[in-house]
């Protein structure tokens, strides 16, 4: 039986109450208009109340205003993000992944070399060991398998660390680096970074993690002109990528951060330590990510890569000069190694082609032609030369010698920092003492004419470690001025003078002049530092001597004049080359006055007189005859030449004794002769310039005492002299000599007895030599002393 719906009952509730009569308004009928009126009234009340506030209070937005504004900004940001994501395309990788040649020019525009042929052989991911993949993830992006192509936390953290001064830190993921390498350029612009962000997000959506990782491994630069993991495995370990070990994989992953600096076969000791630390960081990361067993990690040793192999296309001197220019661009932060190797650069260097040719010719003429490896294979093989030539007024490197042929010897000896400089350090000690107005053991100010005890093997007083160095041939000089001691390179004198000057101050002065503060051997905690245990490169030392020639104004040597690149709208700027004051002019000129006497008939640099121009310089020979140096300058050009031997397999230094049939090789022989021949050609046709010396009068005044070393008399224990020295001889210095016509401002003294003529290395039998100079006798003579020599 169907039921009819009930009739609607009339509303028996109370009639509609006025606004506010009940706890809630009605929602039907006329109530809508009433509610609208209530809201309008509330807004009116709020406006009236806000207008009644003080002016400063009305300037502060309400929470409703802030919420509305933030919501609007958020919506705009989302809209912009979506729009950019949609309109930024993933470009064709083939159009951006082809590297170009770099072209290098001499200073006059003559082409020097071309580089940039891409050394890359792509491999698939299944050809790359899992440990290699995991090592790269551990080194470069530990969130790789979790992130969406970008790591916002990492980017924010990197930006915060940079802003707060905690160092520049990369925040790019592997995907971002791959996109930059394969699709974009290395241009450091905002537009490129924005494109990188959105393309990375798209690539992460379009490609698998394995595809991205394979692309990154095949496009990254590892140094040694090796692009991609396959070329890197061959370049560093002479193996295929598929056979890389865990240790080798970790090392190649470490290289990605700093390819040139972390190549331990060419790195300084400090950079080698950084490379090993980075290698450890990679392995530790593999453990923390679960890729490597801790026990396996503990048993993993550092893998020594093979020596760099010759690079074709950079034969002769070209490769060394390109290496110097590339190193300069990288170390100054102008262009990093990976960006440079990507190609397309036009680089004008500071090198002068005629002078560069002259340097190579001087080495061949004065040394190579004198060697006979067949007759003397034990002494005339593996003899190497390093050299550099710098303009004092500008700091420009106009020539350098890094080896005979870059295609046969890819090590650049002009840049290496592992050869002690011996007595060429003594002028820097003298400069430190004079510039800081240091005093000797008697409390008297040190000048170029201060008298010291020249007894061989005399104990150094006041040094941090015991030291009693012998002189050349163990010769005693008795009371001798610092000028005379420089001329004869008297070790016992300058060992004491360096301590009197203050080893910390000596170090500081050397750094101001241009010796890098991180090279080994310049440690004030060791008294032996006084005789040149420091190991700057030939370029570093040339820069320091150039500062002496430039009256104490120092330039950091530089090698790039101009950069060009067609693909860059905003080229990186080259550093400025403003001079810094390393020494007071009165100090620098006083030291130059002393070094002019070294280039005299009575000095260890006598061979440089053949230049026929005013010149100053200093010879140096190191312990066990492992290296020999000459560093010298004219007013317009400073040049250093170093000679050493090195085992080609172990890279251990070997004695120069017996080279070219001579019992020992001092700085006054081959290095000075090469220097003289080069400088004569380099300055040929130019006007002879004279030194304009203005030494401070107090710097060259005689010592007020007549004792050689008051606190350490010659009869003290450990000293070999038999009596107390008498009055000091009149200082020597300032005499005009052939080729050195302008005397320094020092008083004219009585010279010591005239020596016999300086030795010539071509004499087959012993000849008379000046006191303290090298004696070129047959190789069968007594072995060299294991102490620094002139």
Alpha carbon 200 to chain centroid, angstroms? 34
The helix (run of H) or strand (run of E) holding residue 669 is none
Q: What is the pLDDT of residue 35?
A: 80
Lowest mean pLDDT among 132-136, 382-386, 648-652: 648-652
* Segment 273-282 mean pLDDT: 96
Q: Answer whether residue 486 shows pLDDT above 80.
A: yes
Q: Answer whether residue 431 shows pLDDT above 80.
A: yes
Q: What is the pLDDT of residue 245?
A: 97
Angle, alpha carbons 250-256-260 (nearest 5°): 110
Give the integer Cα–Cα distance in Å for 628 and 789: 9
Q: What is the pLDDT of residue 705?
A: 54
- Helix-strand-coil split of the chain, %, nearest 5: 40, 10, 50
Q: What is the pLDDT of residue 468?
A: 96
Buried b or exposed e, range 186-223, using 16+ CB within 10 angstroms: ebeeeeeeebbbbbbbbbbeebebeebbbbbbbbbbbb
pLDDT confidence tier of residue 45, bands split at 50, 70 and 90? confident
Q: What is the pLDDT of residue 52?
A: 74
* Inter-residue contact 666 to 621 (CB < 8 Å): yes
* Segment 421-426 mean pLDDT: 97
In sequence order, which ranges of 409-517 are alpha helices (DSSP H)? 426-435, 482-488, 491-501, 503-513
Give the Cβ contact number of residue 92 at 10 Å: 9
Tokens of 275: 């490379």
Residue 755: Cβ-neighbour burial (10 angstroms; 0-12, 13-18, 19+): middle
Which is higher by pLDDT, 310 or 460?
460
Q: What is the pLDDT of residue 744?
A: 40
Give the integer Cα–Cα distance in Å for 754 and 294: 73
Most confident range (mean pLDDT) of 18-32, 297-311, 433-447, 697-711 is 433-447
Give the integer Cα–Cα distance in Å for 543 and 537: 10
Which is higher by pLDDT, 365 or 188?
365
Q: Answer whether residue 781 shows pLDDT above 60.
A: no
* Inter-residue contact 713 to 719 (CB < 8 Å): yes
Q: What is the pLDDT of residue 633?
A: 98
pLDDT confidence tier of residue 96, bands split at 50, 70 and 90? very low
Q: What is the pLDDT of residue 154?
A: 64
Give the Cβ contact number of residue 98 at 10 Å: 11
Q: Is 6 helix (H, G, I), strand (E, B) or coil?
A: coil
Give the integer Cα–Cα distance in Å for 261 and 255: 8
Q: What is the pLDDT of residue 185?
A: 57
* Segment 564-575 mean pLDDT: 86
Q: Answer whether residue 56 shows pLDDT above 80.
A: no
* Segment 352-377 mean pLDDT: 96
* Segment 302-308 mean pLDDT: 94
* Segment 515-528 mean pLDDT: 95
* Segment 729-748 mean pLDDT: 38
Q: Answer whether residue 84 shows pLDDT above 70.
A: no
pLDDT in tens, 663-694: 989 999 999 999 999 999 999 999 999 999 99
Q: Answer whether residue 576 shows pLDDT above 90.
A: yes
For residue 516, give every residue at least 6 positions away whose Cβ sits within 8 Å of its Cβ, in sequence order, or none.
Answer: 417, 536, 540
Q: Answer whether residue 166 shows pLDDT above 60.
A: no
Q: What is the pLDDT of residue 734?
A: 37
Q: Answer whether residue 717 shows pLDDT above 50.
A: no
Q: What is the pLDDT of residue 579?
A: 97
Percent of the chain with pLDDT over 70: 75
* Inter-residue contact 253 to 129 (CB < 8 Å): no
Q: Residue 625 region, left (φ>0) first, then alpha (ψ -120 to 50), else beta?
A: left
* Segment 1-22 mean pLDDT: 45
State the chain's mean pLDDT as an integer.
81
CA distances from 364 to 317, 405, 673 (A): 13, 12, 11
Give the integer Cα–Cα distance in Å for 327 and 132: 28
Write phi, then psi, for 97 (nearest 5 degrees). Answer: -100, 0
Q: What is the pLDDT of residue 90?
A: 52
Give the integer Cα–Cα distance in Å for 81 and 28: 44
Residue 464: Cβ-neighbour burial (10 angstroms; 0-12, 13-18, 19+): middle
* Segment 613-632 mean pLDDT: 95
* Segment 562-589 mean pLDDT: 92
pLDDT confidence tier of residue 251, bands split at 50, 70 and 90? very high
pLDDT confidence tier of residue 281, bands split at 50, 70 and 90? very high
Which is higher by pLDDT, 789 or 261?
261
* Segment 529-554 mean pLDDT: 97
Confirm whether pTM is higher than 0.85: no
Give the integer Cα–Cα distance in Å for 599 and 620: 13
* Segment 727-751 mean pLDDT: 38
Buried b or exposed e, range 597-634, using 16+ CB within 10 angstroms: bbbbbbbbbbbbbebebbbbbbbbbbbbbbbbbbbbbb
Axis crossing angle, helix 246-255 with helix 228-237, rounded to the nearest 10 = 110
């Amino acid at each position: 039986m169907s039921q009819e719906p009930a009739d609607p009952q009339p509303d028996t509730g109370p009639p509609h109450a006025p606004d506010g009569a009940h706890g809630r308004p009605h929602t039907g009928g006329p109530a809508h208009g009433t509610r609208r009126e209530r809201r309008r009234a509330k807004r009116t009340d709020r406006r009236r109340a806000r207008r009644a506030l003080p002016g400063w209070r009305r300037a502060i937005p309400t929470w409703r205003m802030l919420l509305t504004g933030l919501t609007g900004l958020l919506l705009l940001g989302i809209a912009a993000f979506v729009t950019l994501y949609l309109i930024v395309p993933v470009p064709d990788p083939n159009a951006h992944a082809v590297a170009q040649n770099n072209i290098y020019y001499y200073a006059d525009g003559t082409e020097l070399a071309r580089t940039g042929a891409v050394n890359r052989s792509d491999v698939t991911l299944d050809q790359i060991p899992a440990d290699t993949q995991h090592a790269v993830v551990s080194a470069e992006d530990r969130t790789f398998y979790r992130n969406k192509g970008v790591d916002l936390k990492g980017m924010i953290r990197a930006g915060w660390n940079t802003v707060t001064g905690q160092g520049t830190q990369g925040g790019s993921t592997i995907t971002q680096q791959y996109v930059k390498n394969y699709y974009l350029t290395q241009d450091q612009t905002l537009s490129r970074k924005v494109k990188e962000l959105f393309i990375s997000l798209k690539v992460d959506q379009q490609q698998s993690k394995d595809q991205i990782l394979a692309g990154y491994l095949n496009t990254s630069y590892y140094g040694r002109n090796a692009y991609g993991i396959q070329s890197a495995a061959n370049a560093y370990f002479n193996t295929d990528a598929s056979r890389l070990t865990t240790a080798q994989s970790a090392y190649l992953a470490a290289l990605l951060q700093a390819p040139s600096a972390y190549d331990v076969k060419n790195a300084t000791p400090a950079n080698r330590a950084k490379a090993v630390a980075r290698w450890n960081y990679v392995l530790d990361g593999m453990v923390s990510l679960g890729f490597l067993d801790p026990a396996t990690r503990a048993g993993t040793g550092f893998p020594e890569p093979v020596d760099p192999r010759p690079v074709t296309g950079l034969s002769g001197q070209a490769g060394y000069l390109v290496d110097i220019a590339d190193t300069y661009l990288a170390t100054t932060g102008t262009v990093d190694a990976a960006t440079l190797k990507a190609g397309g650069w036009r680089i004008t260097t500071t090198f002068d082609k005629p002078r560069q040719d002259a340097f190579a010719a001087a080495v061949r003429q004065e040394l190579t032609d004198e060697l006979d490896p067949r007759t003397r294979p034990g002494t005339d093989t593996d003899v190497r030369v390093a050299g550099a030539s710098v303009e004092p007024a500008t700091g420009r490197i106009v020539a350098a010698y890094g080896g005979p042929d870059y295609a046969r010897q890819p090590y650049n000896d002009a840049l290496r920092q592992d050869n002690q400089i011996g007595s060429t350090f003594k002028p820097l000690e003298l400069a430190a003492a004079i510039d800081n107005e240091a005093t000797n053991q008697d409390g008297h100010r040190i000048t170029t004419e201060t008298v010291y005890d020249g007894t061989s093997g005399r104990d150094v007083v006041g040094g941090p470690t015991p030291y009693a160095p012998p002189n050349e041939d163990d010769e005693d000089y008795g009371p001798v001025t610092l000028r005379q001691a420089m001329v004869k390179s008297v070790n016992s004198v300058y060992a004491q003078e360096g301590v009197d000057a203050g080893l910390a101050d000596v170090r500081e002065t050397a750094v101001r002049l241009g010796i890098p503060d991180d090279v080994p051997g310049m440690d004030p905690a060791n008294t032996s530092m006084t005789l040149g245990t420091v190991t700057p490169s030939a370029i570093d030392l040339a820069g320091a001597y150039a500062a002496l020639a430039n009256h104490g104004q120092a330039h950091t040597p530089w090698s790039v004049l101009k950069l060009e690149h067609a693909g860059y709208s905003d080229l990186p700027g080259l550093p400025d080359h403003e001079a810094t004051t390393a020494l007071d002019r009165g100090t620098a000129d006083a030291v130059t006055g002393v070094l002019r006497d070294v280039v005299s008939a009575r000095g260890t640099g006598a061979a440089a007189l053949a230049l026929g121009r005013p010149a100053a310089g200093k010879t140096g020979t190191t312990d066990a005859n492992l290296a020999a140096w000459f560093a010298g300058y004219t007013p317009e050009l400073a040049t250093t030449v170093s000679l050493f031997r090195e085992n080609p397999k172990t890279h251990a230094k070997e004695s120069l004794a017996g080279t070219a049939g001579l019992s020992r090789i001092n700085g006054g022989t081959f290095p000075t002769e090469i220097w003289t021949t080069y400088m004569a050609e380099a300055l040929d046709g130019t006007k002879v310039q004279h030194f304009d010396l203005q030494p401070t009068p107090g710097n060259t005044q005689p010592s007020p005492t007549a004792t050689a070393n008051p606190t350490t008399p010659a009869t003290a224990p450990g000293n070999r002299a038999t009596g107390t020295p008498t009055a000091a001889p009149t200082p020597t210095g300032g005499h005009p000599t052939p080729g050195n016509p302008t005397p320094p401002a020092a008083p004219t003294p009585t010279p010591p007895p005239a020596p016999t003529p300086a030795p010539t290395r071509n004499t087959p039998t012993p000849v008379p030599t000046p006191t303290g100079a090298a004696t070129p006798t047959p190789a069968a003579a007594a072995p060299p002393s294991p102490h620094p020599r002139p």
